[in-house]
A = this chain, B = another copy of it.
């Protein structure tokens, strides 16, 4: 039951952040930072129709985080909390999750806003963000079209 699972990068983040100290943290933090997600050429076809989505989930690896802990004190509090109740990088599986806004696409490269990853961060997966962005800001690409067809 405790089989290990092997993951491989599907691409890498190009971000202005070279060090974690540069990433805005805590309550005032604005995440409007722009950068690029460079998908490896062999996966470019898997981006087909992604332009129709306004926001994407990016699942990535805290590749420069060293080890993990059960309890940690986040920058937004002075008290320790269970690591699964925080966004700490020091997790049993060093998985990061960020919702980004898709600004544009140039072949295998996605221009996005809202990055909080370091330059060179490996990306494991990209999924459309489908819910809970205010209706007025949301586009759902082929899915919205398909929904209209379905309702006819």
A: residues with CB less than 8 A from B are 1-10, 12, 26-27, 39-40, 43, 45-50, 52-53, 57, 59, 61, 63, 70-71, 76-87, 91-95, 97, 99, 122, 124-128, 131-134, 141-143, 146-147, 149-150
Q: Which residues of B contact A94 (CB under 8 A)?
A: 5
Contact of A48 among B49, B81, B142 (CB under 8 A): B81
Asked if B95 and A70 sit within 8 Å, CB to CB, the answer is no
Asked if A48 and B8 sit within 8 Å, CB to CB, the answer is no
Asked if B6 and A4 sit within 8 Å, CB to CB, the answer is yes
What's the nearest-Cβ distance from chain B to residue A83, in Å? 5
Asked if A126 and B1 sit within 8 Å, CB to CB, the answer is no
Q: Which residues of B contact A127 (CB under 8 A)?
A: 84, 86-87, 97
Work out how many copies of this chain go into the complex.
Answer: 2
Asked if B7 and A1 sit within 8 Å, CB to CB, the answer is no
Asked if B82 and A70 sit within 8 Å, CB to CB, the answer is no
Asked if A125 and B93 sit within 8 Å, CB to CB, the answer is yes
Closest to A92 in B: B10
Q: Of residues A45, A50, A85, A149, which shows the largest number of chain B Cβ atoms within 10 Å of its Cβ?
A: A85
Asked if B150 and A27 sit within 8 Å, CB to CB, the answer is yes
Q: Which residues of B contact A150 (CB under 8 A)?
A: 26-27, 76
Asked if A79 and B142 sit within 8 Å, CB to CB, the answer is yes
What's the nearest-Cβ distance from chain B to residue A99, in Å? 8
- Could you show 11 A-B contacts with beta carbons less than 8 Å apart? A8-B93, A43-B92, A48-B82, A48-B85, A53-B85, A79-B146, A84-B126, A85-B142, A93-B124, A93-B125, A95-B125
